[in-house]
Structure formats: C-alpha cells, structure tokens
Structure 1
C-alpha cells in the first residue's frame, strides 16, 4: 500500500509540475506613450521635384515615439450616403490602357512623405494628383502583436480596434 501511495503522490506532483508555467499568454501589453490620433490632409495637390517625383510632405507637431506606427488612407470616393470611402496606401490604381498609378508613403519620427508615381506620365491624369484628401492614423505598434485581430486595410476596423473617436480629426 505504501508503494501505491508513494507512486500516487509522485504522479500528482509530476502532473502539477508539468501543467504549471511562468508564462501568461493572455498578458496585454499597455503602451502608455502613444495615443491613437487621426489627422487629415485635406484637398492638397502633389508637388513635383526631380529627386522625389510627385509628393506631399507634412511635419508632425510633436515627434513620434519609437512605438508609434503611421497608417495612411486616401479618400477614394464617397459612399451613397456621402460618407468617405478610405483606401489604405500603399495602393495601385489600375487605369485604362494598362496604366498603373501608385500611391506610397514613408515616415520618420518628425514627418511623412506621400508619393505618387506610375508607369506612364501621371501629369496627364491630374484628377489623381490634385485636390486629394488623406487620413493619417497614428497607432501604437505594440498592439500589433500576435493576438491583434484588426484588418489594417479597413479604416473602420482600425478605428474600432483602437477605440478612436474620428469625429475629432485635426488637420496636419
């Protein structure tokens, strides 16, 4: 009987040791230095220079911290109810005749640059270069971990996930 009791005790101890770990997979990392912000660049025209091609440049009022990520959406059209339809960039527009126009961007902690270029002379399609509206969304990078359940291509999904009040948009 003592033998069985010792084996039972050993089995219980072994089960407890194996089933415990010091990891907590449900830990939510809180980013305390980033506040999700929405900024608009309204009705702007792309400028041109030989180094950058067609571009729009804006500076942030405060430098970003290293845990910030920039997402940029272009207002592509309006829905039947008049609300804007936002398209995430980078984006390629496929036009007639095999023409392709690309919107892209880069950012640093101090500024953003939005670029337009294509496989044709894009100055011949000024509707894609003039009176453009972009929405810049600043979000914390740490939220993009393995458990993030957000579709960054969908503006509404991003706004909902980061609990952003986009009625308080400011201009950049």
Structure 2
C-alpha cells in the first residue's frame, strides 16, 4: 500500500509541475555583464604639468579594479560627404621624429583615475605643438569579461563602441 501511495503522490507532483512554459526571459550576451563606458577628454601637455594629465573618472562611471581601461588618441579627422570621420589609435602610440628621436603617448590607471603622459628620448619643450596641445583622447572602461573576448579587436575603437552599443540601451560617449 505504501508503494501505491508513493506512486500516486509522484504522479500528482509530476503532473502538477508540467504545463505551459512561460515567455522566454531577456537574452543576454552569453552571460557577460556589460557595464562599459567611454568618455572623451582634451588635454595640453606642457612643462607646467610635467607633460602629463591626471583624469579622474566621472562620478557616474563606476570603475572596478578588475575592469580594463583602454585609451585612444584622436589622430586625424577625415572630411567625408556624410560628415567628419575620426581616426583613433590605441595607446601606447609612438612617433618617430625626423631628428631620430621618438615621443610616445602612454597612460597608467587605477580604478579612480587615468594618467596620460608623454615619454620618449627627446626634449619635450622642443616638440611641435601638434604633439602637445589640444590632444583629444577617448577613455574606455570595459569589464574584464568583455575585453577578453577574442573576437573583439581592441585596437579598433569603433568596433569596441559598436559592441558596447549592442549590449547597452543607454550608451553614450561623454565629453569632459
């Protein structure tokens, strides 16, 4: 009798747990939590700031120690019939000067800020202002899972931004 009772109870539970499945939940990007942000800054590298600039992350951008920070320099703006096209290069970026010396844009970061700086084997005070004044950078903060995607070319800022736009509803580039 015990066996029949157990069998009946099992059938009741099985039937009670079956039925129409509910609507599917939202589809995520393979379990990756995307909270990336991109913002722009324009700085001058001068003797007064020791050819460096310390940029605090905006308050609305939460940066974790595990996040990946990438910095891109605006190299050129190409005119086009649809509007200007920005050309960006991932740092570090080295330029070889006519006199045989070199100058490089580089950065380091914490989860609080990014330091942009010039380095090289030249006298920075003799550099053309092309290298020192009104330098625009895009700073991208990416979750480590997102940045480790082998299909993502981190050298291409447009691909990074397009990937973030597909993953975020309210993506925007902030200009500081």
TM-score of the two chains, using structure 2 as the length reference = 0.69
Matches within 5 A, 1:15-26: none
Question: 1:91–1:103: 8 Å Cα contact kept in structure 2?
Answer: yes
Distance in 1 between residues matched to 2:30 and 2:171, nearest whole Å = 27
Matching residue of 1:133: 136
Which of residues 165, 169, 173 in structure 2 aligns to 1:169? 173
Following superposition, the deviation at residue 40 of structure 1 comes to 0.6
Q: Deviations over 1:72-130 (max 9, x none)?
A: 10011112322211111111011212121111101101111001022110221122111
Could you tell me which residue of structure 2 aligns to residue 61 of structure 1? 58
Residue 35, structure 1, aligned to residue 35, structure 2: yes
1:96 is paired with a residue whose SS is: coil
Q: How far is 1:167 from its partner?
A: 8.0
- The answer to whether the Cα contact below 8 Å between 2:164 and 2:171 also exists between their aligned partners in 1 is no
Q: What residue is the counterpart of 1:154 in the other structure?
A: 156
Q: How many residues align?
A: 140
Tell me the secondary structure at the aligned position of residue 98 of structure 1: coil
Correspondence for 1:76 = 75
**CA distance, structure 2, for counterparts of residue 59 and residue 130 of structure 1:** 20
Alpha-carbon shift at residue 46 of structure 1 (Å): 1.7
Task: Name the stretch that deviates more: 66-75 or 105-114.
Answer: 66-75
The structure-2 alpha-carbon separation of the partners of 1:75 and 1:158, relative to structure 1 and needing over 3 Å to count, comes to same
Q: Which runs of 5+ in 2 are unaligned?
A: 1-28
Question: So what's the TM-score if we normalise by structure 1?
Answer: 0.71
Please state how far the C-alpha of 1:47 moved relative to its aligned partner: 4.1
Match of 1:143 among 134, 142, 146: 146
Provide the secondary structure at the position in 2 that maps to 1:74.
strand
Contact 1:29 1:143 in 2 (8 A): no
Q: Is the 8 A contact 1:73 1:88 kept in 2?
A: yes
Residues 23-51 of structure 1, C-alpha deviations (whole Å, 9 max, x = no match): xxxx93422xx512110102x212446xx
More strand by percentage:
1
Alpha-carbon RMSD: 2.5
